[in-house]
Structure 1
């Protein structure tokens, strides 16, 4: 099925040429019949939009910088939702790594999960470019990597990441030594592996960043609140059709992409999914739109993005 979607999409090119041929062949008819002309133009424009979304935007790599006030200084790079496998491979990741290495004065790279999407190659080959990143790399797994797809992928992927110099975190923590910043990596929410009680092991004066895949994890924090939570999962909607894409983002809370400062204590919120819940905390949450795709090999109005977080 996925191969059909991937390669069947090339049929848009002969379809586009057919529309051009049809217009040239029946030009007088179309010029006389405005309705037929409008239909033809509409199909032509939709074909161009499809080509851009399928073959152009998803292969771009943007770099975006966000300043966040957290009380300590650091320059972090965030790259999420790679989804290497059937739609993207190590060639794309190599381009991403080159761009990361060209960013100056980076303290660490954080990867909030979803490394795979129906991986059709050896995992070590797919993720071998990660070994070339020049600064420490910290990562957690996402729903496409965890038990939802079977523990075999999870175990293989964990070993692959460690073989490629990635510090793998699963409800465990590490530290960026030169910055005295503690990174707590939580398991995936959909796999019920995000142990938020681990946050209580840290002191209020600790410089604490929580790395997790699903930003919804943050709405269940209870007592201790990290200085910053970094997540992915949403793809920013991936195909941002106005008035529609937000309803397709698989989150309880109204997460999309970018920085969120969640509102304080005991407020009932009705989410975009019509689920009412009580939010009992506050905190800063940054959500990256990521660089990969699922479902369709397309992105529209939300290109693959490497995030630079300047923490102040």
Structure 2
């Protein structure tokens, strides 16, 4: 058996394995589009073919099967895709933002909030390896509490509660709101499944609720695309403390009414583009955020909004130029 046949055999075995895994995973997935889920899972599992392709490009270049230019092209392309599929999605960064509501009236002590969003547990993301990295890095930062700005899921499997069990290792309270993928926009109807998974793992859903702290109030705001982002009652609430608003979609900031103290909204949704490519990413982002939010801090008429790039993936199982990130918001 020559080397070429060995490569063909490896490609064939991996392809059959990938198709089988995609089909089996789809049968365990909460989805209303089985064929669509199967195609997405095919992209996820067949991406393992990139490894033998990467090795084959080297062999083909040295043996003359490919021209030098062809070998370099295939090698570089497969290297890029391997990085975006297998490396960057697990390169969880930690970034810190320092924020003050009123520099003339600083807090008695700084408050550290760990912000994560868009875990998208399901087809591509949120597997045990990545969740363990996220939990460990959050604990290293010793935040006062953690907020999750929605999109927990991306057509998850039935065992969602078990997959989230590792979050019980986070050494701080966890507050959460849901996002469009959790609200059937465009995800499947998994509200009961998610609600149970969060409850048994001690994650507090604060949608339409207020959590009072000594120097500020944390307000959970429902998802914009689901029509649940109602903040008309905020001016009627006591205005003696500033508000931190937790809402999945940063475009919700335009609905914030004028308040005594300019509030800070914490959001996700955009993934920071997820795959950073010239022109194409900006075109897609116009559909994700009408107001042009991508990542970082933005100022609007009645509020500031900070947008995290999140940790998971949708559409394609790649991250490129936008590593998953935990944002520490230090308010003083």
Task: Measure the CA separation in 1 of the matches of 2:140 and 2:257.
Answer: 39
Q: SS where residue 290 of structure 1 aligns?
A: coil
Task: Measure the CA separation in 1 of the matches of 2:188 and 2:244.
Answer: 27
The question of 1:7 aligning with 2:45 is answered yes
Q: SS where residue 148 of structure 1 aligns?
A: coil
Q: 1:90 to 1:198 in 2, by over 3 A?
A: farther
1:122-271 aligned within 5 A: 122-148=159-185, 152-176=189-213, 179-224=214-259, 226-249=262-285, 250-262=288-300
The worse-fitting range, judged by mean Cα deviation, of 207-216 and 150-159 is 150-159
**Greater per-residue strand proportion:** 1
The question of 1:296 aligning with 2:316 is answered yes
The question of 1:54 aligning with 2:85 is answered yes
**Alpha-carbon shift at residue 230 of structure 1 (Å):** 0.3
8 Å CA contact 1:171–1:198 kept in 2: the answer is: no
Task: Name the structure 2 match of 1:82.
Answer: 119
| 1:254-277 alpha-carbon deviations (Å, 9 max, x no partner) | 101111122xxxxxxxxxxxxxxx
Task: Measure the CA separation in 2 of the matches of 1:162 and 1:228.
Answer: 27
Task: Measure the CA separation in 2 of the matches of 1:200 and 1:159.
Answer: 33
| 1:106-135 alpha-carbon deviations (Å, 9 max, x no partner) | 211110000011112412101112222221
The worse-fitting range, judged by mean Cα deviation, of 85-94 and 120-129 is 85-94
Task: Measure the CA separation in 1 of the matches of 2:250 and 2:174.
Answer: 20
8 Å CA contact 1:137–1:165 kept in 2: the answer is: yes
The worse-fitting range, judged by mean Cα deviation, of 167-176 and 86-95 is 86-95
Give the TM-score, by structure 1 length: 0.85
- CA RMSD for the aligned pairs? 2.0
Task: Measure the CA separation in 1 of the matches of 2:294 and 2:196.
Answer: 31
The worse-fitting range, judged by mean Cα deviation, of 17-26 and 145-154 is 145-154
The question of 1:307 aligning with 2:327 is answered yes
Task: Measure the CA separation in 2 of the matches of 1:236 and 1:119.
Answer: 22
Gaps of 5+ in 1: 31-36, 263-280
**Alpha-carbon shift at residue 206 of structure 1 (Å):** 1.8
Task: Measure the CA separation in 1 of the matches of 2:307 and 2:52.
Answer: 39
Question: Which of structure 1's runs of 4+ aligned residues deviate more than 4 A?
Answer: 149-152
**Alpha-carbon shift at residue 39 of structure 1 (Å):** 4.2
Task: Measure the CA separation in 2 of the matches of 1:99 and 1:90.
Answer: 14
8 Å CA contact 2:151–2:180 kept in 1: the answer is: yes
Task: Measure the CA separation in 1 of the matches of 2:303 and 2:74.
Answer: 46
8 Å CA contact 2:60–2:71 kept in 1: the answer is: no
Q: SS where residue 307 of structure 1 aligns?
A: strand
Gaps of 5+ in 2: 1-38
Task: Measure the CA separation in 1 of the matches of 2:100 and 2:211.
Answer: 22
